[in-house]
A and B are shown apart, each in its own frame.
Chain A
């Protein structure tokens, strides 16, 4: 009985370790988003700007984000795993999921009243 118990415990520990590795931490993602300067091109709200595309609410999953960051198109530099890990990018992805979507322009009077 002792051996099966030990194996069960080991399996449980391995499972916890595995979960810890894939645990998504949006708060850490927010911290990294600012610390590593993602906001520089993409804006604090991920809204994009002249220097970078919008990255809020674009329907990309975590793996898609990681793939893009490793080999981006256009002006964005490639961020290799040595610079930012898959786990960190996953956290950033989780943070991006927390960002509010844009209001409809129809609900913003100033954007409905641009004509003179």
Chain B
């Protein structure tokens, strides 16, 4: 059978022809004119009428073809299930293995409660969920391919795991090979999707029926949000998503009720023992790790600290304690006779030092006074895994209470109150003046230190922090970034007292967390009209800068201040350390760590993603006014970025 010659112009061929035509017009105007005249003549010529065969083909009923439609895919039921969990948003980069669910969420679910947020990278999806939770206290549902999407997401999941943050992860997968459409779906399918992240998630399941999906979906949420909170994974099989629910089965499907577990408080006897030790101590100190799960923890911790006149050493993993309280940062482990660690994952390092000499053997010694007692209240003791080593060094403490610290605080406060006699109360309160004076001196020292390099360029991190504070202090602000790499200047100069004033750090120090966490936290703050401020490290942003587009696209108000110090300075310092130790040139430390030649222009980067931006600014006197202009943009509901060329730390 002879085939008719197909005469068509696909888009690529059309563009190729158009480009060639354009080139010809430039190169040979006379030839082009002749060609145009010929084409004009062809246009005037009448088109031939269709033949009988073509007419019949276009007007007769088509031969039988299979079409496949359904009015009730399984993914609609999955949406019904997931809506009961009250997610505000779904963060996702699109993936074919969850196309059924995505379509159901946007059409059947109305793209509301939860609303779909477009992400440019799965690491951004999880990082945003991480930041969102830290402000709102609500887990976010993220979706990803069970294979390539999860591979992208994995570092961010580990950060959330180490930071005790629940993230609800749904993975698309096509378990049945007969359903896969060609090699792409074979390469995007996996036998056991969750296995890749099982070492750093709390629970996972791969349901094979809609009924099991419903039960596992509710169970996953409950497990994720029970302290110690961790990410969980639920695999949504594509066949379950896309196949219809049989009419006779619809009435049988059941969505279990979510019953949240009460966080575990400490054993009463152990808490009473802890209270005795604290009340009778002459110099108790409290180390605050991830204490504040909820806003309620802050006043509880203040009450305990003030009742005992016990200074707080804040690890800044959460907003735990007001920085203006005289007990904030006014004590030390080395001067304490009782040390209480609340949700401190690195307790051993808080009570020991390691000598820099003989680091291969890591000589160490306690920094506590002889006879000092150490107490821990730590939900991490209730849940451990072995492969990833985030559990830290073993603590041979004196009293270990495996419990959630926030849930235990009311009992501990009651016990302390009961044990404090009037005589003891006088002794305890006598300590207050000393700590108030230490707090005042610390503050004075920080201000003195901030004055150094005030007019220097690159701009000092203290100057940037002071300029920022001047612009935000009278706003309802929220610092949505870690500031470890900013010499903690905001924590030293600003006044933190509200639960949303600070969100802490990465968890596992996986770089790339900062930008997405800030965007997620800012989205949570948006509902409250707060001014979100992100001090953004340059190295961090370069992992997945597409999150800037997400912020611009979804109109997420966020003030970004670039900490543009043009290097991975922590690693550069390590390399200098290694070179000095080996007695070799230290100037090679910049190889592989500097982000220069060319310098990255973050102002242009932000602009490219649709964000208001200014900079790069290297004159410290220009920083304040630029921030002021950017805040005006943010107050209108948009993100903005000020690119500041800064000191390393």
What residues of chain A have their CB less than 8 Å away from a CB belonging to chain B? Answer: 35-37, 39-41, 43-45, 47-51, 54, 56, 74-75, 77-80, 82-84, 102-105, 108, 110-111, 113-116
The CA of A110 and the CA of B470, in the complex, are separated in Å by 7
Q: Is B116 engaged at the interface, CB distance under 8 Å to the other chain? A: no
Pairs A–B under 8 Å by Cβ, sample size 7: A44-B456, A47-B462, A51-B648, A83-B580, A108-B466, A114-B466, A114-B494
Among A35, A43, A83, the residue within 8 A (CB) of B579 is A83
Q: Is B601 engaged at the interface, CB distance under 8 Å to the other chain? A: no
Q: Is B581 engaged at the interface, CB distance under 8 Å to the other chain? A: yes
Q: Is B335 engaged at the interface, CB distance under 8 Å to the other chain? A: no
Chain A residues within 8 Å of B467, by CB = 110
What residues of chain B have their CB less than 8 Å away from a CB belonging to chain A? Answer: 356, 447-456, 458, 460-462, 466-467, 469-470, 473-474, 484-485, 487-488, 493-495, 569, 572-573, 576-577, 579-581, 583-587, 589-590, 647-649
Q: Is the CB of A37 within 8 A of B590?
A: yes
Chain A residues within 8 Å of B589, by CB = 37
Among A37, A43, A113, the residue within 8 A (CB) of B453 is A43
Among B356, B451, B461, the residue within 8 A (CB) of A105 is B451
Question: What's the minimum C-beta distance from B557 to chain A, rounded to whole angstroms?
Answer: 21
The CA of A75 and the CA of B353, in the complex, are separated in Å by 11
Q: Is the CB of A54 within 8 A of B449?
A: yes
Among B487, B577, B580, B585, the residue within 8 A (CB) of A49 is B487
Among A54, A56, A74, A79, the residue within 8 A (CB) of B580 is A79
Chain A residues within 8 Å of B448, by CB = 102, 105
The CA of A107 and the CA of B239, in the complex, are separated in Å by 70
Q: Is the CB of B451 within 8 A of A113?
A: no
Among B447, B572, B587, the residue within 8 A (CB) of A114 is B447
Given contacts A39-B648, A104-B451, 15 further A-B contacts (CB under 8 A): A36-B576, A36-B587, A40-B569, A40-B648, A47-B452, A47-B456, A49-B647, A49-B648, A50-B484, A77-B581, A78-B580, A83-B580, A102-B448, A108-B466, A110-B466
Q: Is the CB of B587 within 8 A of A37?
A: yes
The answer to whether A79 and B649 touch (CB under 8 A), given A50-B487, A108-B454, is no
Among A36, A43, A82, A105, the residue within 8 A (CB) of B460 is A43
Closest residue on chain B to residue A41 by CB atoms: B573
The answer to whether A37 and B572 touch (CB under 8 A), given A44-B458, A49-B647, A108-B454, is yes
Q: SS class of chain B's interface: helix, strand, loop or mixed?
A: helix
The answer to whether A80 and B583 touch (CB under 8 A), given A37-B573, A40-B576, is yes
Chain A residues within 8 Å of B456, by CB = 44-45, 47
Closest residue on chain B to residue A35 by CB atoms: B587
Among A37, A75, A103, the residue within 8 A (CB) of B454 is A103
Question: What's the minimum C-beta distance from B62 to chain A, rounded to whole angstroms?
Answer: 73
Chain B residues within 8 Å of A49, by CB = 461, 487, 647-649
Question: What's the minimum C-beta distance from A44 to chain B, rounded to whole angstroms?
Answer: 6
The answer to whether A83 and B454 touch (CB under 8 A), given A37-B572, A37-B576, A102-B448, is no
Closest residue on chain A to residue B467 by CB atoms: A110
Q: Is the CB of B452 within 8 A of A114?
A: no
The CA of A24 and the CA of B267, in the complex, are separated in Å by 68
Q: Is the CB of A83 within 8 A of B583?
A: yes
Question: What's the minimum C-beta distance from B471 to chain A, rounded to whole angstroms?
Answer: 10
Chain B residues within 8 Å of A51, by CB = 573, 648-649
Among B458, B577, B647, the residue within 8 A (CB) of A77 is B577
Question: What's the minimum C-beta distance from A108 to chain B, rounded to whole angstroms?
Answer: 6
Q: Which 10 A-B pairs have the closest CB atoms?
A: A47-B452, A45-B453, A49-B649, A77-B580, A47-B453, A50-B487, A102-B452, A49-B487, A102-B451, A82-B583
Chain B residues within 8 Å of A80, by CB = 580, 583
Question: What's the minimum C-beta distance from A67 to chain B, rounded to whole angstroms?
Answer: 16
The answer to whether A108 and B452 touch (CB under 8 A), given A50-B488, A83-B580, A114-B469, is no
Question: What's the minimum C-beta distance from B619 to chain A, rounded to whole angstroms?
Answer: 15
Closest residue on chain A to residue B582 by CB atoms: A83
The answer to whether A103 and B451 touch (CB under 8 A), given A35-B587, A114-B493, is yes
Closest residue on chain A to residue B587 by CB atoms: A35
Chain A residues within 8 Å of B447, by CB = 105, 111, 114
The CA of A41 and the CA of B585, in the complex, are separated in Å by 17
Question: What's the minimum C-beta distance from A38 to chain B, rounded to whole angstroms?
Answer: 9
Q: Is the CB of A48 within 8 A of B573?
A: no
Closest residue on chain B to residue A115 by CB atoms: B495
Among B356, B458, B493, B590, the residue within 8 A (CB) of A75 is B356
Chain A residues within 8 Å of B356, by CB = 74-75, 77
The CA of A45 and the CA of B473, in the complex, are separated in Å by 28
Q: Which of A36, A74, A114 has the most CB of B within 10 A?
A: A114
Chain A residues within 8 Å of B649, by CB = 41, 43, 49-51
Q: Which of B488, B576, B584, B590 has the most CB of A within 10 A?
A: B576
Closest residue on chain B to residue A111 by CB atoms: B447
The CA of A103 and the CA of B469, in the complex, are separated in Å by 19
Chain A residues within 8 Å of B487, by CB = 49-50
Question: What's the minimum C-beta distance from B313 to chain A, rounded to whole angstroms?
Answer: 16
Chain B residues within 8 Å of A114, by CB = 447, 466, 469, 473, 493-495
Among A48, A83, A110, A116, the residue within 8 A (CB) of B584 is A83
Question: What's the minimum C-beta distance from B315 to chain A, rounded to whole angstroms?
Answer: 14
The answer to whether A40 and B451 touch (CB under 8 A), given A110-B466, A114-B493, is no
Q: Which of B453, B454, B473 has the most CB of A within 10 A?
A: B453
Chain B residues within 8 Å of A41, by CB = 573, 648-649
The CA of A51 and the CA of B649, in the complex, are separated in Å by 8
Chain A residues within 8 Å of B494, by CB = 114
The CA of A16 and the CA of B301, in the complex, are separated in Å by 69
Among B452, B458, B493, the residue within 8 A (CB) of A54 is B452
Question: What's the minimum C-beta distance from B356 to chain A, rounded to whole angstroms?
Answer: 6
Chain B residues within 8 Å of A105, by CB = 447-448, 450-451
Question: What's the minimum C-beta distance from A74 to chain B, rounded to whole angstroms?
Answer: 7
Q: Is the CB of A83 within 8 A of B585?
A: yes
Question: What's the minimum C-beta distance from A104 to chain B, rounded to whole angstroms?
Answer: 7
Q: Is the CB of A77 within 8 A of B495?
A: no
The CA of A50 and the CA of B589, in the complex, are separated in Å by 19
Chain B residues within 8 Å of A77, by CB = 356, 576-577, 580-581
Chain A residues within 8 Å of B473, by CB = 114, 116
Q: Is the CB of A43 within 8 A of B648?
A: yes
Chain B residues within 8 Å of A78, by CB = 580-581
Question: What's the minimum C-beta distance from B61 to chain A, rounded to whole angstroms?
Answer: 77
Q: Is the CB of A116 within 8 A of B449?
A: no
